[in-house]
Amino acid sequence: MLIDDPVLFEKVREYVLAVNPELADRIEYYDRSTEELPLFERYFVHEQLHRALDRKVFLPSEDRLIIERTEALTVIDVNTGKNVGRRISKRRSFVTTSKRPKKWREQLRLRDIGGIIVIDFIDMENKGNREAVASALRQALSRDKTRTQVFDIGELGLIEMTRKRVNEGLLESVSSICTVCDGRGFVVETGL
């Protein structure tokens, strides 16, 4: 753990020494006066935070997730990148979907998403494929410390799940409601 505030560094170090002394050597002071770059710039924290707040998550093979959050629920749309709008083979859609549960778990944890979550999969017409994807998702989420319940994929290719809300979520913890659009996500033209 790197800390660039000397007072906070001492407080954290004293606490760790009191609670678990063998971990104290993992706390390091990042001296801003001797380093070329500030701590956040050196480790690209701002870029990673912006990526974590973006509604699009780009995956290998040009696949992507679109994550839309509302007050009632979160929807994750699984897309195959450049193939959006085109028919893709059922085999490719299954392979794309079945290899992503760890990435979905990662995004749920990173963004601290809780409540009702609906994932829209690509062409999940085959019952065996639906069951395999649901099983893979349950397996990936079994290691998540936050209690999660995953339901079977329905006929529309949607999987519903609930994830216990622990905190307010990453987006809510680093943002505030827009005073212009009152959180609706767009600005209405004033000339209307």
pLDDT below 50 — which residues of the chain? Answer: 84
- 65 in Cβ contact with 56 (< 8 Å): yes
Region of residue 86 (left: phi > 0; alpha: psi -120 to 50; beta: else): beta
The answer to whether the CB of 113 falls within 8 A of the CB of 74 is yes
- Collapsing DSSP states into helix, strand and coil, what is residue 77? strand
Cβ contacts of 18 within 8 Å, gap of 6 or more? none
pTM (2 d.p.): 0.71
Note the pLDDT tens digit of each residue in 27-44.
999 999 999 999 989 999
Angle at 147 between CA 142 and CA 121, to 5 degrees: 65
What does the pLDDT read at residue 97?
A: 60
Instruction: Report the alpha-carbon distance of residue 169 to residue 109 in Å, rounded.
Output: 9
Q: Determine the pLDDT at residue 5.
A: 94
pLDDT for 48:
85
pLDDT at 137: 87
In angstroms, what CA-CA distances link 130 with 79, 97, 98, 119? 16, 10, 9, 12
